[in-house]
Each structure stands twice: as structure tokens, then as C-alpha cells.
């Protein structure tokens, strides 16, 4: 992995992964690409940035050719709640966009990282210790697009030898970018509201368990899977990676250790509650630990301390 293209580089994962990759590979070796017409200053200052529409294959080819890209981190996607309000757009970006990336990877011999999600599981899937290999019948267009993505990536590996790899992310928590239309966004908003207003109105029920992960661990997983020895990885698309099973109540208790007067109340969003109820409480990630050494660094209180400190400092 020497020359990397990151699509969706201005998103929640992309913005932090781009920074980490530039620290690892050098700023000129990581090309950030986003759909936004006005690139963010921090991307312009720290390396190449280009506007990119993943549904226009020629724009992907142009960047891969110009920079002699050997690895594509394909993060451009519409998240669950937004996609559920516009399923055709969700499919067009999440699947048609991935097909374009895979075709370019096949033609230019690039490796491809595509994130999957706990969203690939549905009501029939075991919710506790969700196995690596189990039934995947998601009820959201986001989940259907992610299952399709896993199968497409495995197909391009088997049929064409494209080096495709991916992980199934839990809900991700970070402070560097605002939430982007996901079901798990509450776990980001709660920290910002705790620091700013000492109170938060949550759209999920207090006892709603979700598999959640701190962004530094998600970035670590994305880099470790792509630098793993290809001889040791057998599951490829995509590995369960897990770290914490949390509820709004549990996160609230952790926040109150630092902000004792923080309070939470609830105004349930039926759409996102239904999506959350169809997802696992916690995935089982033994296979990722065995095949490429996956291991999260952050627990809940360490994440809470880091989130509150950084949000407070940026105010
Ligand atoms: C979402 N944050 O809520 C994303 C993620 C597992 C959830 O895919 O849609």
C-alpha cells in the first residue's frame, strides 16, 4: 500500500482515516476525494483533494491513472436513516458506486477496502455474539446494499483476483465530524450536547443495545486489515469487528462520571428505533482476532474521557 485513494474522505470515517493514512504513508501519497464542491481547508492543506462523483466511473479512473493509485479505500456511502428516506439514492450511491470502484480496481489492479456494517444483519440474526457466518436478511436498504457490497467484493476477488477486503463496523463514535444521517448518531450527539447543554433528548429508547466503537479503533481496523498478510485472511468481505455493547443509559452513566449534572430524556424516532431494533447487540469477532490480530484499544470510560476532553477543547 503506497499510493491510496480515499473516497468519501470528508465523511465520519474518511476524514479521520485520511489523516491517519497521511501520517503513515506521507501526505502526497493519500489522495482525498469527496462529493463536496468546496473542499475543506484541512484537506487542501494536508495533501491532494479532489471532488469525486462515484457514480461517474471516468472520474475515478482519472484519479487512479493520474496518481498511480494501488489501493482504494471506498468509504463513499449513504447511511442507514438517510437511505431509508430515499432508497433509490441509497442503492445508487452504495451499490452502483461500489461497482464502479470494483471495475476500476480490476482494470488498474488496485486493492479495495469497503466497510460493511452491523446493518447487514436483520431480525432473524442472533443479536448477542452475532457469528461471523450467519443469516443476513436486513430490513433496510442500507443493510441490503451492504450485503450486496460484501458479495460483490468477494465475487471480484474470486473471479478476477481483485484484492478486496472489508470489516463490518459497529456504530462509530467520533468528535471530528458531525453525525451523517445514521441510526447510531445518538452516540455522537449525546457527547456534544452533554458538553454544550448538560442535557440531551435521545431518539432511541434507554435500553436499546447497539454494538458501538470509538473511531480510533475503527481507523486501526481499516489499516490493519489492508496491511495483513493475504495468506492469513480467509473471510475478506467482511470481518465482524466489535468493541462495546452500549445503551443510551450506559453511556449516560459514563458521561455523569465527568459531568455529574448531565441529564437525558427521550423522544423516540420510530424509524431509527425500528432500524436499531433489527441490529445486533454485539457481534462476535473471534475470526478477525485470529486471522489478522484485531484488538480494540478503547473501552467506554476511556472513550468518554477522550470525547469530552476534545469537544471541550474545540469550543
Ligand atoms: C449508521 N453509523 O447508523 C452508520 C452505521 C452501524 C451503523 O453503519 O447508518
Question: 48-61 b/e with 16+ CB inside 10 Å = b?
Answer: bbbebbbeebebbe
Q: What is the number of the ligand 1 atom nearest to the C-alpha of 115?
A: 8
Pocket of ligand 1 (CB under 6 A): 79-80, 117-119, 142, 169-172, 182-184
Q: What is the mean pLDDT of residues 174-186?
A: 89
Measure 170 CA to ligand 1 centroid, in angstroms.
7
Q: List, by residue range, all CATH 3.40.50.720 domains of the chain.
A: 4-170+215-240
Q: What is the number of the ligand 1 atom nearest to the C-alpha of 279?
A: 6
Coil, helix or strand at residue 281? coil
Q: What is the mean pLDDT of residues 197-213?
A: 98
Q: What is the pTM of this model?
A: 0.95
pLDDT digits (tens, 9 = 90+) for 64-120: 999 999 999 999 999 999 999 999 999 999 999 999 999 999 999 999 999 999 999
Q: Is 175 a catalytic residue?
A: no
Q: What is the mean pLDDT of the chain?
A: 96
Q: List, by residue range, all CATH 3.90.25 domains of the chain.
A: 172-212+244-281+297-314
Angstrom CA distances, 238 to 11, 156, 214, 287, stand at: 21, 13, 19, 11
CATH 3.40.50.300 fits 4-170+215-240, yes or no: no
What confidence category does residue 315 fall into, taking pLDDT thresholds of 50, 70 and 90? confident
Which of 142, 169, 175, 200 is labelled catalytic? 142
d(CA 72, CA 30): 10
Coil, helix or strand at residue 255? helix
Query: For residue 297, is pLDDT > 70?
Result: yes
Give the residue ranges of DSSP H helices in 68-114: 80-85, 87-91, 97-108
Measure 248 CA to ligand 1 centroid, in angstroms.
16
Predicted confidence at residue 46, as pLDDT, reads 84
CATH 3.90.25 fits 172-212+244-281+297-314, yes or no: yes
Predicted confidence at residue 37, as pLDDT, reads 66
Best CA proximity match to 284, nearest among 241, 244, 230, 223: 241
Amino acid at each position: 500500500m503506497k499510493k491510496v485513494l480515499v473516497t468519501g474522505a470528508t465523511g465520519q470515517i474518511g476524514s479521520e482515516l485520511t489523516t491517519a493514512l497521511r501520517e503513515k504513508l506521507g501526505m502526497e501519497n493519500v489522495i482525498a476525494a469527496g462529493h463536496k464542491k468546496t473542499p475543506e481547508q484541512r484537506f487542501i492543506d494536508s495533501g491532494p483533494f479532489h471532488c469525486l462523483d462515484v457514480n461517474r466511473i471516468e472520474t475515478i479512473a482519472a484519479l487512479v491513472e493520474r496518481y498511480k493509485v494501488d489501493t482504494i479505500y471506498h468509504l463513499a456511502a449513504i447511511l442507514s436513516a438517510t437511505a431509508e428516506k430515499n432508497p433509490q439514492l441509497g442503492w445508487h450511491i452504495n451499490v452502483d458506486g461500489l461497482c464502479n470502484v470494483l471495475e476500476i480496481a480490476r482494470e488498474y489492479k488496485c486493492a479495495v477496502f469497503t466497510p460493511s456494517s452491523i446493518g447487514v444483519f436483520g431480525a432473524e440474526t442472533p443479536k448477542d455474539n452475532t457469528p461471523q457466518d450467519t443469516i443476513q436478511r436486513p430490513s433496510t436498504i442500507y443493510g441490503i446494499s451492504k450485503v450486496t457490497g460484501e458479495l460483490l467484493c468477494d465475487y471480484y476477488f474470486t473471479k478476477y483476483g481483485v484484492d478486496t477486503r472489508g470489516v463490518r463496523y459497529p456504530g462509530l463514535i467520533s468528535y471530528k465530524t458531525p453525525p451523517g444521517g445514521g441510526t447510531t448518531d445518538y452516540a455522537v450527539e449525546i457527547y456534544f450536547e452533554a458538553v454544550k447543554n448538560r442535557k440531551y433528548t435521545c431518539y432511541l429508547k434507554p435500553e436499546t443495545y447497539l454494538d458501538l466503537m470509538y473511531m480510533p479503533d475503527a481507523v486501526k481496523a481499516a489499516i490493519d486489515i489492508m496491511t495483513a498478510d493475504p495468506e492469513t485472511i480467509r473471510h475478506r468481505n467482511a470481518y465482524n469487528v466489535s468493541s462495546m455493547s452500549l445503551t443510551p443509559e450506559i453511556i449516560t452513566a459514563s458521561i455523569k462520571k465527568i459531568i455529574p449534572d448531565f441529564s437525558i430524556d427521550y423522544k423516540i424516532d420510530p424509524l431509527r428505533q425500528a432500524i436499531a431494533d433489527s441490529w445486533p447487540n454485539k457481534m462476535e469477532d473471534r475470526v478477525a482476532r485470529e486471522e489478522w490480530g484485531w484488538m480494540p484499544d478503547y473501552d467506554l470510560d476511556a472513550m468518554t474521557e477522550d470525547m469530552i476532553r476534545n469537544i471541550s477543547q474545540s469550543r
